[in-house]
Amino acid sequence: MKGKDLLSIADFSAGDIRLLINNALEMKAEGWNSLLSGKTLALLFEKPSLRTRVSFELAMVQLGGHTIYLSPAEVGLGKRESVADVARVLSRYVDALAARTFSHQTLELLAADSAVPVINALSDREHPCQALADLLTIYEKKERLEGLTIAYLGDGNNVAHSLLLAAAITGVNMRIASPAGYQVEESIRQLAKASADESGAELFLTEDPRLAVTGADVIYTDVWASMGQETEAESRRRIFAGYQLNQQLLPLARDNAIIMHPLPAHRGEEIVDEVLDSPASVVFDQAENRMHLQKALLAGMLGGLEIPLAKY
């Protein structure tokens, strides 16, 4: 994993993901160390963030390293300066880049001209760090991954893309319920199918949220309108109204099903307070685990850390 880019969850094998989960659990229990002393991570953000910025900054601090935050105004990717030139310059200064961009193509351009690892901290196509933290959280709560069933309700967005690919790679069954016209991209579905054929995961796409939730071990939802889709917010509320995660859907899942959401949540839209704040919700554990998973990711990419697969 050392020196490797993470642009898509598909860049990692099932073995890579198992190693990351195991290492994250070890590092979560261990706390702070100096593994990345002298290392610097640049946070190159076109979009604002709470969890992504804080989790990456603290991950580096707790590993003895440093971060430099670069806002859109400071960089102007592709406007003030070409993406290629930014990549070449930053490669002379830092040990890795974590980029949060509107376009996935921007990430690909960065990676093409960067001499240091590039991490997808979110793009319009994928959110792999979120999916990895999600699998860590599920494993913590269920003590296994293979054979479990995740039901995802809502927009077939970047989070849905990465979660579908991650599930397919690791043998987790995945059901996605989305309205017609808002389902996951066909290219992602085909990529996930190829991984599922190897892992044995069952993938199911439907327009019926009840069908997706029935018998599920994990119920997952996300906002209906992501950043950059604000003008569609009102029309999306109407279209997605039947996909709200509420008390009527919960009884269809397994008795010990857990509730997940990557946050920020639009309470009263895609999820109601009574579900988000219920004992079944692991949403804030999920948010915390972004930091622990990213510690393992950064240690693996920059330090070559490999802890024996003793747990997973």
For 144-157, the pLDDT digits (tens) are 999 999 999 999 99
Q: Is the per-residue pLDDT at 282 higher than 80? A: yes
> Nearest-5° angle of CA 287, CA 289, CA 291?
95
What DSSP character marks residue 303? Answer: I
For 98-131, the pLDDT digits (tens) are 999 999 999 999 999 999 999 999 999 999 999 9
Residue 227 pLDDT: 66
| Mean pLDDT value across residues 44-48 | 91
Token representation of residue 238: 């109407």
What DSSP character marks residue 302? Answer: I
Strands 118-122, 149-153: pairing is unpaired
Token representation of residue 29: 């229990």
Residue 74: pLDDT band (50, 70, 90) is confident
Domains and CATH numbers, the chain: 9-127+290-303 (3.40.50.1370), 130-286 (3.40.50.1370)
Token representation of residue 123: 């793009």
Is residue 135 within 8 Å of residue 21, measured between CB atoms? yes
Residue 232: pLDDT band (50, 70, 90) is confident
Residue 305 pLDDT: 58
| Residue ranges with strand state E in the chain | 40-45, 66-70, 96-100, 118-122, 149-153, 173-177, 203-206, 218-221, 258-260
For 162-220, the pLDDT digits (tens) are 999 999 999 999 999 999 999 999 999 999 999 999 999 999 999 999 999 999 999 99
Q: Is the per-residue pLDDT at 296 higher than 80? A: yes
Cα–Cα dist 225/266, whole Å? 10
| Mean pLDDT value across residues 130-135 | 98
Q: Is the per-residue pLDDT at 309 higher than 60? A: no
Q: Is the per-residue pLDDT at 265 higher than 70? A: yes
> Nearest-5° angle of CA 182, CA 186, CA 188?
100
Cα–Cα dist 274/280, whole Å? 10
**pTM exceeding 0.85:** yes
